[in-house]
């Protein structure tokens, strides 16, 4: 009976659930998942199709592997939930995270809208505020890279500082440089974060998981505390500043203003307090930090491994911008550089399984019954490695996104979905694309990036966890003479 429960594709009402592999009693498929769940899921999809389910201990997980099915599901409200898993609950109970880890109800909808509006201030190409922010952070980064004087050096810390500086300035109007002790605590929490949310963890899958993993849980919770104090301090400092839109200096101001302007009865209806609304700034800081840092790390590693790609991208920047730094308005004239960024997103697929969703009601998808509360993963890594859409997916080939006459192929570009799709698609997408286009472009204008022959870059493997972290080895940054 237990065996049947854990292995069957049909539930007790004999509604047809997605097919899936056999698993062990209690553990389900957990022991077979391996350290790269997204790769294991690709293998399972070959046998069971692009919608399959797998039992991970207590959790039943549905995995979607093709872009059409992911779009169909995540375009519906019913798939906009987040799992009620132990890791999510522990994080929510100990952090002020306002909406990104919470389920897709009316509160989430409102807070998401507020966040998008606040970010919109920075993410318009007519608006130079993002450029000014990137200018300052890039100057600091380039000074640090120049200080390596062409010797092989690990740029990890400098990239971390740069990403923190940009998002810190955007959200809180402050430069969190490495001199700020708070960055250390953010770094420490970040390192634990990826493992804490790993797919199929003992914590989320086994009965008494949080008891079994007690010391890791305590360690993670401790690591959140200083970050929370830091975030709260800055959020509180923004409370009284804004009376009207003209006063808005940064995203935290914009959010604080919305909190103040939202009618009390609407807040009551949604069960929101001003504090909860203001804490959306925390979500934006958290979500916009590691992701951008990871993109830069993958980009420089790949550019170091493919000098020809680097040369062509730099040549295009030289032709379009000459001696001046690349601007947001140049983006439509630098298709090769845009293609490089798309290929970095595709090749790295560093948010391999996106963030997990959960069904908010019983539902069906392509004829399969999916009960309320089922965790649903979208295997973005599988899609980005599907040779039907991306021939020779193992090769790093920015040209795949160009038309024969060298323009950006917008149909091909739209097939790259690192930000997810549908109702919970990343709210920072525009900002991230713009920030990365500027940062990577400017880096290429200033430096040649080379591998250290004694320590070659590994672009095939990645650090395990929620994201596929780039493996960072020392690189050589050679200043380009002006």
Q: Which residues bind ligand HEM (CB under 6 A)?
A: 74, 100, 112, 115, 119, 283-284, 287-288, 291-292, 295, 351, 354-355, 418-420, 424-428, 431-432
Please check if 426 is assigned to a binding site. yes
Q: Of 200, 157, 244, whose CA–CA distance to 40 is shortest?
A: 200
- Residue 231: name the closest of 287, 165, 184, 282 by CA: 282
280: CB partners within 8 A, 6+ apart? 98, 99, 111, 114, 115, 118, 255
Compute the C-alpha angle 203/204/206, nearest 5°. Answer: 75
Which of residues 360 and 426 has its CB atom nearest to ligand HEM in the complex?
426
Residue 304 or residue 342: which is nearer to ligand HEM going by CB?
342
Under 8 Å between Cβ of 237 and 253: no
Smallest separation, CB 98 to ligand HEM (Å): 9
Nearest-approach distance from CB 159 to ligand HEM, in angstroms: 13
| DSSP secondary structure string for all residues of 339-372 | HHHHHHHHHH--STT-S-EE-SS-EEETTEEE-T
Q: Residue 239, SS3?
A: coil
CB of 351 to ligand HEM, least distance (A): 4
Nearer to ligand HEM, 27 or 340 (CB): 340
Task: Choose between 38 and 112: whose C-beta lies nearer to ligand HEM.
Answer: 112
Classify strands 475-479 and 447-451 as parallel, antiparallel or unpaired.
antiparallel
Nearer Cβ to ligand HEM (331/450): 331
CB 294, CB 469: distance < 8 Å? yes
Tokens encoding 236: 């509180």
- Which residue, 217 or 294, has its beta carbon nearer to ligand HEM? 294
User: Nearest approach, Cβ of 136 to ligand HEM (angstroms)?
Assistant: 17
Q: Rounded distance, CA 313 to CA 437, Å?
A: 12
* 23 vs 356: CA distance, rounded Å: 21
- Closer to ligand HEM by Cβ: residue 292 or 300: 292
Q: Are 217 and 88 in contact (CB under 8 A)?
A: no
- Considering beta carbons, is residue 304 or 426 the nearer one to ligand HEM? 426
CB of 4 to ligand HEM, least distance (A): 33
Closest CA to 55 of 17, 12, 15: 17
First to last CA, the chain: 74
**Closest residue to ligand HEM using C-beta atoms:** 428
Show contacts of 232-240: CB within 8 Å, 24+ apart. 232/96, 234/172, 234/174, 234/281, 235/96, 235/278, 235/279, 235/281, 235/282, 238/172, 238/278, 238/281, 239/274, 239/278
Task: Give min distance, CB of 54 to ligand HEM, in A.
Answer: 19
CB of 149 to ligand HEM, least distance (A): 30
Q: CB of 285: closest distance to ligand HEM in angstroms?
A: 7
Binding residues for heme, by number, are: 426
Q: Please enumerate, by residue number, every residue annotated as part of a binding site.
A: 426
């Amino acid at each position: 009976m237990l065996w049947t429960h854990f292995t069957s594709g049909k539930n007790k009402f004999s509604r047809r659930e997605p097919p899936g592999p056999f698993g062990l009693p209690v553990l389900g498929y957990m022991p077979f998942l391996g350290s790269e769940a997204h790769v294991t899921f690709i293998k399972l999809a070959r046998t069971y199709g692009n919608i399959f389910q797998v039992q991970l201990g207590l959790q039943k997980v549905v995995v979607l592997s093709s872009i059409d099915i992911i779009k169909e599901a995540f375009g519906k409200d019913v798939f906009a939930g987040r799992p009620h898993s132990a890791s999510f609950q522990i994080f929510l109970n100990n952090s002020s995270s306002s909406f990104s880890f919470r389920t897709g109800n009316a509160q989430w909808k409102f807070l998401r809208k507020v966040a998008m509006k606040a970010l919109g201030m920075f993410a318009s190409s007519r608006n130079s505020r993002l450029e000014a922010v990137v200018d300052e952070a890039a100057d600091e980064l380039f000074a640090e890279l120049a200080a390596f004087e062409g010797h092989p050096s690990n740029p990890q810390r400098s990239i971390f500082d740069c990403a923190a500086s940009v998002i810190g300035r955007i959200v809180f109007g402050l430069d969190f440089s490495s001199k700020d002790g708070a960055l250390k605590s953010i770094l420490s929490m970040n390192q634990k974060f990826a493992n804490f949310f790993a797919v199929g963890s003992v914590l989320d899958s086994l009965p008494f998981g949080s008891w079994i993993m007690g010391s890791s849980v305590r360690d993670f919770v401790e690591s959140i505390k200083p970050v929370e104090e830091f975030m709260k301090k800055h959020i509180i400092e923004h409370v009284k500043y804004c009376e009207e839109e003209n006063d808005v200096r940064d995203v935290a101001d914009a959010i604080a203003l919305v909190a103040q302007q939202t009618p009390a009865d609407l807040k009551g209806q949604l069960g929101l307090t001003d504090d909860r609304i203001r804490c959306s700034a925390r979500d934006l800081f958290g979500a916009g930090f590691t992701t951008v840092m990871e993109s830069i790390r993958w980009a420089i590693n790949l550019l170091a491994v493919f000098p020809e790609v680097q040369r062509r991208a730099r040549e295009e920047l030289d032709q379009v911008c000459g001696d001046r730094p690349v601007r947001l308005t140049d983006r439509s004239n630098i298709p090769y550089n845009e293609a490089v960024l798309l290929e970095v997103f595709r090749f790295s697929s560093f948010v391999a399984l996106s963030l997990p969703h959960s069904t908010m009601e019983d539902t069906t998808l392509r004829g399969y019954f999916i009960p309320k509360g089922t965790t649903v993963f979208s295997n973005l890594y599988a899609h980005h490695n599907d040779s039907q859409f991306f021939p020779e997916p193992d090769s790093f080939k920015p040209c795949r996104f160009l038309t024969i006459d060298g323009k950006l192929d917008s149909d091909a570009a739209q097939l790259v979905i690192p930000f997810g799709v549908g109702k919970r698609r990343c709210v920072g997408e525009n900002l991230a694309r713009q920030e990365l286009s500027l940062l990577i472009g400017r880096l290429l204008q200033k430096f040649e990036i080379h591998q250290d022959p004694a320590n070659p870059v590994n672009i095939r493997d990645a650090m395990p966890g929620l994201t596929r972290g780039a493996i960072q080895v020392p690189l050589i940054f050679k200043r380009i003479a002006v």
